[in-house]
C-alpha cells in the first residue's frame, strides 16, 4: 500500500465494508470499496498529469430562478475511446489508467473533467448583466466504477456486488453532505451512446451540488402544498395508490415496490420506492439495501430483455437536500429510457425542449404489462 493510501471500515449498524482512500498523480482522491475481509491493493499512480481545471462557474438565470453550471474545459474530456484505451479499466500490462490497481470491485474517484470543484475560483468575469450573478462552480463530481469488467453491465452484477454499490453511494452521500457549501447529493448512472455517454465502461457519477436542483425544488414545493391542503404526505399517497391499483406495479418485495408511474413522461419509466419512508440512501438499513439490490437487478434485466438490445437508460436517485427541515422528501429511484420502440428513440421535440411539456407515445399501463411479461 502506498504512503497516501488509508484503509478503514465503516458499519453504521450495517454490514461492514472496507474503504481504502488514496490519491491520484494530480491530487484527486480515489477510493476502493470492497467487502469486509477482501484484500485491497492500492498502488501509487505513476503517471504525470496536468493540473485539473478549477475554472467552473455558476451563472444565475433570472427568468427561471435557477443556477446554470458552466465548465468549458469539459469540451476536451475523453470521448468514446477504444476498448484498449478505456480510462476506467484497471491498470494492467504496462498501461496506466485512472485506476492504478490491477483489479478492483468498486472504485470512486474525483472526475478529471469536473463540472464542479471544491477548489473552483473565478478569474475576472463580467457578464455585463445586472440580473445575472456569477460565482465559482463550487462542489464535487465523482465517477463510480461498478466493476472492473469492461464488458459487464450493472444488470450483470450479483446481488452482493450491487449491494456494495449501494453501500458506496451511502458512504459518499454521508461524507459529501458534510462539505460546507454543498446543498444536495445526486447519485446517477447514464448508460448507452443514445443517452450521450462518452465512456462505455459500466460506471455512474455522483454530483455534490452547491444548490438545490430545479427538479427537487419543484417536488418539494408541490409536496409542501399538498401537505398544507390535505395534511398528508404526497409521495406516500402516490405509492399507496399505485399499490392499490396494481396495474402499473412491476414487483413488490418485503421492503420495496417498483412501478411505472401513471403520468410517466418517458417511453419506459419505472420508479422504485422503499415501503418505509426515508429521505436518503444512508438511512436504508441492511435488509432494505439487500432487498433493493435484488429488485433493482430484476428491473434492469427486464429493461435489457424488452427489445433485442439493452435499453439506454438514466438511473437517478432522488434524495433529500442537505437541509430538509420540513421533512418533505421521500427517497426514490427513477429509471427511464429514451427508446420508444425496438428501432426508434424519443427525441425531445418542440413541446418538450421548448416548453418542458412532455408528450408520451405509449401508455404507462401497456409499458408495465410488457415489462412484467419479459
Chain segment 158-191, per-residue pLDDT in tens: 999 999 999 999 999 999 999 999 999 999 999 9
Specify whether the CB–CB gap between 333 and 303 falls below 8 A: no
The structure's pTM equals 0.95
pLDDT band at 75 (very low <50, low <70, confident <90, very high): confident
Report residue 9's pLDDT band, with 50, 70 and 90 as the boundaries.
Answer: low
> In angstroms, rounded to a whole number, what is the distance separating the alpha carbons of residues 25 and 180?
26
**Residue 187 marked ligand-binding:** no
- Tell whether 86 is in a known binding site: yes
Q: Which one from 73, 121, 203, 332 is the annotated catalytic residue?
A: 203
The CATH superfamily holding the domain 215-373 is: HIT-like (3.30.428.10)
Active-site annotation holds for 203: yes
Higher-scoring residue by pLDDT: 216, 348: 216
Hey, where are the domains in the chain? Answer: 6-211, 215-373
> pLDDT at residue 7 above 70?
no
Residue 18, by phi and psi: left (phi above 0), alpha (psi -120 to 50) or beta? Answer: beta
Same fold, 6-211 and 215-373: yes
What architecture (CATH level 2) is domain 6-211?
2-Layer Sandwich (3.30)
CB atoms within 10 A of CB 284: 23
Amino acid at each position: 500500500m502506498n504512503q497516501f493510501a488509508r484503509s478503514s471500515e465503516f458499519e453504521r449498524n450495517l454490514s461492514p465494508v472496507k474503504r481504502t482512500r488514496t490519491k491520484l498523480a494530480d491530487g484527486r482522491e480515489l477510493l476502493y470499496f470492497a467487502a469486509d475481509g477482501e484484500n485491497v491493493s492500492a498502488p501509487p499512480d505513476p503517471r504525470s498529469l496536468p493540473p485539473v481545471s478549477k475554472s467552473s462557474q455558476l451563472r444565475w438565470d433570472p427568468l427561471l430562478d435557477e443556477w446554470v453550471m458552466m465548465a468549458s474545459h469539459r469540451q476536451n474530456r475523453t470521448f468514446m475511446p477504444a476498448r484498449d484505451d478505456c480510462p476506467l479499466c484497471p491498470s494492467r500490462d504496462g498501461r496506466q489508467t485512472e485506476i492504478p490497481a490491477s483489479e478492483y470491485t468498486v472504485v470512486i474517484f474525483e472526475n478529471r473533467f469536473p463540472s464542479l470543484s471544491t477548489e473552483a475560483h473565478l478569474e475576472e468575469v463580467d457578464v455585463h448583466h445586472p440580473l445575472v450573478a456569477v460565482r465559482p462552480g463550487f462542489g464535487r463530481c465523482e465517477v463510480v466504477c461498478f466493476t472492473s469488467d469492461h464488458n459487464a453491465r450493472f444488470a450483470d452484477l450479483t446481488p452482493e456486488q450491487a449491494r456494495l454499490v449501494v453501500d458506496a453511494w451511502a458512504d459518499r452521500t454521508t461524507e459529501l453532505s458534510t462539505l460546507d457549501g454543498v446543498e444536495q447529493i445526486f447519485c446517477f448512472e447514464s448508460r448507452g451512446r443514445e443517452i450521450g455517454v462518452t465512456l462505455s465502461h459500466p460506471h455512474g457519477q455522483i454530483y455534490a451540488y452547491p444548490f438545490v436542483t430545479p427538479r427537487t425544488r419543484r417536488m418539494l414545493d408541490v409536496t409542501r402544498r399538498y401537505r398544507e391542503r390535505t395534511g398528508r404526505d404526497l409521495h406516500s399517497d402516490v405509492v399507496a395508490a399505485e399499490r392499490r391499483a396494481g396495474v402499473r406495479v412491476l414487483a413488490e418485495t418485503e421492503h420495496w415496490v417498483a412501478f411505472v408511474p401513471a403520468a410517466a413522461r418517458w417511453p419506459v419509466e419505472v420508479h422504485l420506492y422503499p415501503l418505509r419512508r426515508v429521505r436518503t440512501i444512508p438511512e436504508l438499513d441492511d435488509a432494505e439495501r439487500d432487498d433493493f439490490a435484488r429488485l433493482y437487478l430484476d428491473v434492469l434485466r427486464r429493461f435489457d430483455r424488452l427489445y433485442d438490445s439493452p435499453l439506454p437508460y438514466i438511473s437517478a436517485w432522488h434524495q433529500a437536500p442537505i437541509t430538509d427541515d420540513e421533512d418533505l422528501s421521500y427517497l426514490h429511484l427513477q429509471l427511464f429510457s429514451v427508446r420508444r420502440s425496438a428501432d426508434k428513440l424519443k427525441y425531445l421535440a418542440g413541446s418538450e425542449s421548448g416548453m418542458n411539456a412532455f408528450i408520451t407515445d405509449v401508455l404507462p399501463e401497456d409499458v408495465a404489462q410488457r415489462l412484467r411479461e419479459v
